[in-house]
Chain A
Amino acid sequence: MSPARLLRTTCGTFLCAVFLAGLFAGGVTHYSYATQFREAPNAAPSPTHLFGTDSLGRDLFTRVLYGTRVSLLLAPAAAFLSTIIAGVFGAFAGFVGGWFEAAVLAVADLSMALPLLFVLLALRAMLPLDIDPVVSVAATFILLGLLGWQASLRVVWAASKNLRDSDFLLLARATGCPRSRIILRHVLPNLRPVLLAQFWISIPLYVLTEATLSMLGLGVMEPLPSWGNLLRGLEDFSVVHANPWRALPLVLLVVVVICFQLILPAQEEIA
């Protein structure tokens, strides 16, 4: 096994382990992510609290596990949503051309110009207040997915446009192949590597965007943990200096994002 392949396998295994630990968090830890051990705020790691506790005395290991579940389940879902939007509209715009292409690109450019943060702020303010935290977090990621397709669309559009002028599509058209068959059997399979790359790239992007939103207090609602709101206490480096164990979610986030980047070439090769 080549070193690169070994590295990818290691990263993939690590991601699977993290994903499974998050998915079955209830079986890994017996604490609730919301329970506050008020006699032990900011406690150092110990056999009782493996990663220590946060400033409200909540078990950090438990919160990291449940936060992993939230971030690693919903970030791929948001990435899938945005990739689907980008794939459908980008592919059609590139293939069909004409006014449809111009309209799709104009909408993409216009929405790229919108400040995403303010759009999210406005949309969050319009949501009803009495929604469940789980619904709120799902809504946040759906909004991210719905608003984060533009960059992927341009990439897919460019790839689709290249395909439109390719020899094999010219041949298919010359032999009388219907347009729907050309799209389904020829264009989309050839766009698969691009779509997969966009999907894998988007996942860490959404994890980080959620982290940014949570840093602003706009992401996942308390007490539900996510990687984003676990990082909120780290805004000041001196907090990390005083309680180094509080940086464990950050370490995990960095490692996971790196792993996502490292397994990406493997996806391209498979495609």
Chain B
Amino acid sequence: MIARSFWGFLLFAFAAFSPAAQAQSGGELHFCLHGEPKTFNPILVDDEAAEQIRYLTGGVLIRLNRQTQALEPALATSWDTSRDRRTITLHLRKGLRFSDGTPFTSEDVAYTVKLMMDPQTHSPTGDAFRSGDGAVDVKTPSPDVVTITFPAPIAGLDRLFDQVAIMSAHSPKKEMAVLGPFFVAEYKAGSSVLLKKNPNYWKRDAQGNPLPYLDSIHIDIQRNRDIELVRFRKGELQLINRLDAEQFERLRHDDPAVARNAGTGLDAEELWFNEVPSAPLPEYKKTWFHTTEFRRAISAAINRDDLCRIVYSGYAKPAYGPVSPANRFWFNSALEKPTYDPKLALALLTHAGFRHENETMKDAAGNRVEFNLVTNSGNATREKMAVMIQQDLSQLGIKVNVVTLDFPSLIERMTRTFDYDACLLGLVNTDLDPDSQMTVWLSSGENHQWNPNQKTPATTWEGEIDKLMREQASAPTDKERKAKFDRVQQIVAEQAPFIYLINKDVLVAVSSSVVGTAPVVLSPQAFWNAETLRLNAGAALGAQK
């Protein structure tokens, strides 16, 4: 009996002092946004800061689980998508209320969708649903069922609802009445946003306790990442959502427990050559840039492993192609891993008519292979990459002049004057679905950077990509879409219009006072599960060492 009591006590003691048990409901979480949210209206969100506020406050019908990358029921308990991908029927949870107490019904969904699709609203969220001309038909046969029919098929229709935060049709507070775990309680322009727990939030934990656990989240607006890091070290902040490799390495050196690597992210750094026919470049340069072997040779001559090891302190992986391996479903695992192979590069260039003479690479006409590589000024990481590429290519006798320009000047050259040879920039991927990259891959797209806004595809392989991208958008199943997009990735790897360099790791910092974090590669990386985060019982600001 005594023994049983002893073991019972020990078990109790262990449970009482384990981190999970020390965590408690309540408290205020502190972290920073790196920009001012331009709006709190969820259908007008167009910037990262506002998107993160929307994620914390908005209630959506279907939620993309940031960890599993699978769709989960949220305000809708189930949904059916028609085979033609035009119609979706959603079955809503019953008895829910907005943060101000207004009841939630199918009328609110209809109101939100109509507002979002109204051309007068200019909703960036609605743009993703605009696949063809015509009006959207929304039917509400009952308070808990809504059927939405779009004028044309939409690829990944159900997934798009992850971005649609439902607004109240009847609340006088309009967009400030929310269905998410928190609501905006206070906003000081240029300074901070205070989110408070939504008392009417529908979700509960496995034990039936109401979520979220936190009472509030205090978000400071802080653009300077170094100040953010200093404040984190002082214990004034408990999370940092994105760190660069250098900051992360220093933090890891001082306190390994708080530095968390979520793994390879979706973002890539890439290089491309200007292939615009009307570009003000010498004809011989245009000929080089149009030559697939030239582009592939440059790709093979770049030591991506060194870029990862030196520029990113090991917190990056060589990029395979347009889709990062972090995008589990859409990544084409059949693509070959890019390897550093100067001999292959030389062989490709020789095959294309170039010759290596006296440590200098020349084309068939005797022109020295020399080009400028532009990138945006002020980005030390990107500039380091450019200098390393410069040295790699100098081994082949190719001269690269690195030029940094302020961003507006760079954009001007990329999109209007086309007065540049090659460009090094990063691609920010916020969406897993390839449909969001239509303007990149269609030859008529404005983000088809190597040769944008083409009237007809300039090459046969660009024509094939156009065809495949259109087919994947209207294919009835994800499996068929995947097969089409795999082929797109294969063509891009073979033709190298973009030379993908690295995929950065997603690096975050989480104070030991926060319990329940599980950083992921999708945004918002460190606080995607904010509703289940807790603070340690003894946690107080300033405790972080």
* A and B together in one complex: yes
Pick the contact of B246 from A38, A133, A218, A239 — CB < 8 Å?
A239
Cβ of A223 under 8 Å from chain B: yes
Cβ of B44 under 8 Å from chain A: no
Interface of A is mostly: loop
Say yes or no: B391 contacts A36, CB within 8 Å: yes
Cβ of B402 under 8 Å from chain A: yes
Instruction: Return the 3 tightest CB-CB contacts between A and B, nearest first.
Output: A217-B377, A125-B409, A129-B372
Say yes or no: B310 contacts A129, CB within 8 Å: no
Q: Complex formed: what's the CA distance from A124 to B376 in Å?
A: 13
Which residues of B are at the interface with A, using a C-beta cutoff of 8 A? 226, 246-247, 250, 253, 306, 309-310, 370-372, 374, 376-380, 383-384, 386-388, 390-391, 401-406, 409, 412, 419-421
- Min CB distance B410 to A, Å, is 9
Cβ of A165 under 8 Å from chain B: no
Q: A55-B310, A124-B405 are in contact. Are A222 and B250 (CB under 8 A)?
A: no
Say yes or no: B310 contacts A223, CB within 8 Å: no
- Min CB distance A39 to B, Å, is 10
Q: A235-B226, A242-B250 are in contact. Are A218 and B310 (CB under 8 A)?
A: no
Q: Complex formed: what's the CA distance from A242 to B384 in Å?
A: 19
- Min CB distance B318 to A, Å, is 15
Say yes or no: A221 contacts B404, CB within 8 Å: yes
Q: Complex formed: what's the CA distance from A147 to B470 in Å?
A: 54
Q: A217-B379, A221-B402 are in contact. Are A56 and B387 (CB under 8 A)?
A: yes
Q: In the complex, what residue of chain B is closest to A215 when comparing beta carbons?
A: B378
Which residues of A are at the interface with B, using a C-beta cutoff of 8 A? 34-36, 38, 41, 55-57, 121, 124-125, 129-133, 216-218, 221-223, 232-233, 235-236, 238-239, 242
Pick the contact of A129 from B253, B412, B420 — CB < 8 Å?
B420
Q: In the complex, what residue of chain A is closest to B373 when comparing beta carbons?
A: A129
Say yes or no: B378 contacts A130, CB within 8 Å: no
Q: A130-B372, A222-B383, A239-B246 are in contact. Are A217 and B310 (CB under 8 A)?
A: no
Q: In the complex, what residue of chain B is closest to A238 when comparing beta carbons?
A: B250
Pick the contact of A222 from B226, B246, B253, B390 — CB < 8 Å?
B390
Residues of chain A with a CB closer than 8 A to B402's CB: 221-223
Q: A38-B310, A217-B379, A222-B387 are in contact. Are A129 and B401 (CB under 8 A)?
A: yes
Q: A57-B310, A216-B378, A217-B377 are in contact. Are A125 and B388 (CB under 8 A)?
A: no
- Min CB distance A223 to B, Å, is 6
Q: In the complex, what residue of chain B is closest to A213 when comparing beta carbons?
A: B377
Known interface pairs A129-B372, A133-B401, A232-B380; 8 further A-B residue pairs with C-beta atoms within 8 A, sorted by A's residue number: A38-B306, A129-B403, A130-B421, A132-B401, A217-B377, A217-B379, A217-B380, A223-B402
Residues of chain B with a CB closer than 8 A to A232's CB: 380
Residues of chain B with a CB closer than 8 A to A233's CB: 380
Q: Complex formed: what's the CA distance from A221 to B373 in Å?
A: 11
- Min CB distance A56 to B, Å, is 6
Q: In the complex, what residue of chain A is closest to B379 when comparing beta carbons?
A: A217
Residues of chain B with a CB closer than 8 A to A132's CB: 401
Q: Complex formed: what's the CA distance from A130 to B422 in Å?
A: 11
15 contacts between A and B (CB under 8 A): A34-B391, A36-B387, A36-B388, A56-B387, A124-B409, A125-B406, A129-B401, A130-B401, A132-B401, A216-B377, A216-B378, A217-B383, A218-B377, A233-B380, A236-B247
Residues of chain B with a CB closer than 8 A to A221's CB: 401-404
Say yes or no: B250 contacts A129, CB within 8 Å: no
Q: Complex formed: what's the CA distance from A232 to B387 in Å?
A: 14
Pick the contact of A56 from B253, B370, B384 — CB < 8 Å?
B384
- Min CB distance A131 to B, Å, is 8
Q: Complex formed: what's the CA distance from A265 to B271 in Å?
A: 53
Residues of chain A with a CB closer than 8 A to B386's CB: 222
Q: Complex formed: what's the CA distance from A71 to B406 in Å?
A: 23
Q: In the complex, what residue of chain A is closest to B375 when comparing beta carbons?
A: A217
- Min CB distance B160 to A, Å, is 38
Residues of chain A with a CB closer than 8 A to B374's CB: 129
Q: Complex formed: what's the CA distance from A232 to B380 in Å?
A: 8
Pick the contact of B226 from A41, A133, A236, A242 — CB < 8 Å?
A236
Residues of chain B with a CB closer than 8 A to A121's CB: 406, 409
Residues of chain B with a CB closer than 8 A to A222's CB: 383, 386-387, 390, 402
Residues of chain A with a CB closer than 8 A to B384's CB: 55-56
Q: Complex formed: what's the CA distance from A13 to B374 in Å?
A: 41
Select the residue from B310, B386, B388 with max chain A CB neighbours within 10 A: B310
Residues of chain A with a CB closer than 8 A to B378's CB: 216-217
Residues of chain A with a CB closer than 8 A to B379's CB: 217
Pick the contact of B419 from A129, A216, A235, A238 — CB < 8 Å?
A129
Residues of chain B with a CB closer than 8 A to A216's CB: 377-378
Q: Complex formed: what's the CA distance from A130 to B400 in Å?
A: 9
- Min CB distance B259 to A, Å, is 14
Q: Complex formed: what's the CA distance from A73 to B377 in Å?
A: 25
Say yes or no: B250 contacts A218, CB within 8 Å: no
- Min CB distance B234 to A, Å, is 13
Q: Complex formed: what's the CA distance from A129 to B376 in Å?
A: 13
Q: Complex formed: what's the CA distance from A223 to B383 in Å?
A: 10
Q: Complex formed: what's the CA distance from A130 to B421 in Å?
A: 9
Q: Complex formed: what's the CA distance from A218 to B377 in Å?
A: 7
Q: Complex formed: what's the CA distance from A109 to B335 in Å?
A: 62
- Min CB distance A55 to B, Å, is 7
Residues of chain B with a CB closer than 8 A to A124's CB: 405-406, 409
Say yes or no: B226 contacts A218, CB within 8 Å: no
- Min CB distance B463 to A, Å, is 31
